Structure 1
Amino acid sequence: MPAIQAKEYPKNLPLSVSFLGLGAMGLPMAGHLAAAGYSVTVYNRNPAKAEQWANEFKGKVATTPAEAAKEADIIFCCVGNDDALREMTTGSQGAYQSMKAGAIFVDHTTTSAEVAKEVYQIAREKGIHFIDAPVSGGQAGAINGVLTVMCGGDEEAFNKAKPVMDVFSRSVIYLGKSGSGQLAKMVNQICIAGLVQGLSEALAFGERTGLDMEKVLAVISKGAAQSWQMENRGKTMLENKFDFGFAVDWMRKDLGLVFDEAARNGAELPVTRLVDSFYAEVQANGGNRWDTSSLITRLKKG
Structure 2
Amino acid sequence: MKVSFIGLGVMGYPMAGHLVEKGFEVTVYNRTTQKAQQWAQTYPGNYAATIAECVKEADVVLMCVGNDDDVRSVTTAPDGALAAMKPGAILVDHTTTSATLAEELNLAAQAYDIAFMDAPVSGGQAGAENGVLTVMCGAEAALFDTLQPILTAYARSSTLMGKVGQGQRAKMVNQVCIAGALTGLSEGLLIAEKSGLDVATLVSCLKNGAAGSWQMENRAQTMAKDEFDFGFAIDWMIKDLGFCLDEAQQQGIHLPLTQTVFDDYTSLSQKGDGRMDTSVLIKAVRDKSEN
Question: Same fold judged by TM-score > 0.5?
Answer: yes
Structure 2-normalised TM-score?
0.96
- Aligned to 1:78, which of 60, 64, 83? 64
User: CA offsets, 1:11-39, max 9 Å, x none?
Assistant: xxxx1101000001000101111111111
Secondary structure of 2:58 counterpart: coil
Please tell me the residue identity of whatever aligns with 1:130: F
Cα distance in 1 for residues equivalent to 2:117 and 2:148: 11
* Among 197, 208, 227, the residue aligned to 1:222: 208
Contact 1:248 1:279 survives alignment (8 Å): yes
Distance in 1 between the 2:154 and 2:165 partners? 22
Supply the AA of the counterpart residue of 1:222.
N
Kept in 1: contact 2:139–2:163 (CA 8 A): yes
The 5 Å alignment of 1:1-302 reads: 15-300=1-286
**RMSD of aligned residue pairs (Cα, Å):** 1.1
- How many residue pairs get aligned? The number is 288
User: In 2, are the aligned partners of 1:82 and 1:115 still within 8 Å (CA)?
Assistant: yes
1:64–1:94 contact (8 Å) kept in structure 2: no
5+ residue gaps, structure 1, are 1-14
Separation in 2 of the partners of 1:257 and 1:65?
27
Q: Which residue in the other structure is 1:11 paired with?
A: none
Distance of 2:22 and 2:98 partners within structure 1: 31
Code of the aligned partner of 1:233: R
State the distance in 1 between where 2:51 and 2:191 align. 50
So what's the TM-score if we normalise by structure 1?
Answer: 0.93
Structure 2 distance, partners of 1:298, 1:186, is: 22
CA contact (8 A) 2:231 2:277 kept: yes
| Partner secondary structure for residue 153 of structure 2 | helix
| Cα deviation code 1:224-281 (max 9, x no counterpart) | 1000111111111112211211001000000111111111111220111011111122
Inter-partner Cα distance in structure 1 for 2:142 and 2:73: 26
Separation in 2 of the partners of 1:212 and 1:96?
A: 55
> For the residues of structure 1 that align with 2:262 and 2:59, how far apart are their CA atoms?
40
CA deviations over 1:94-119 (Å, ceiling 9, x no partner)? 11112112111110000010111011
2: CA distance, partners of 1:81 / 1:111: 6
CA distance in 1, matches of 2:143, 2:74: 19
Moved over 2 A (4+): 298-302
Q: Distance in 2 between matches of 1:120 and 1:187?
A: 22
| Counterpart contact for 2:109–2:116, Cα < 8 Å | yes
Per the alignment, in what secondary structure is the counterpart of residue 134 of structure 2?
strand
Q: Report the Cα offset of residue 43 of structure 1.
A: 0.3
Q: Distance in 1 between matches of 2:108 and 2:101?
A: 11
Distance in 1 (alpha carbons) for counterparts of 2:51 and 2:135: 23
Aligned counterparts of 2:248 and 2:233: Cα–Cα separation in 1? 23
Q: Distance in 1 between matches of 2:240 and 2:78?
A: 27
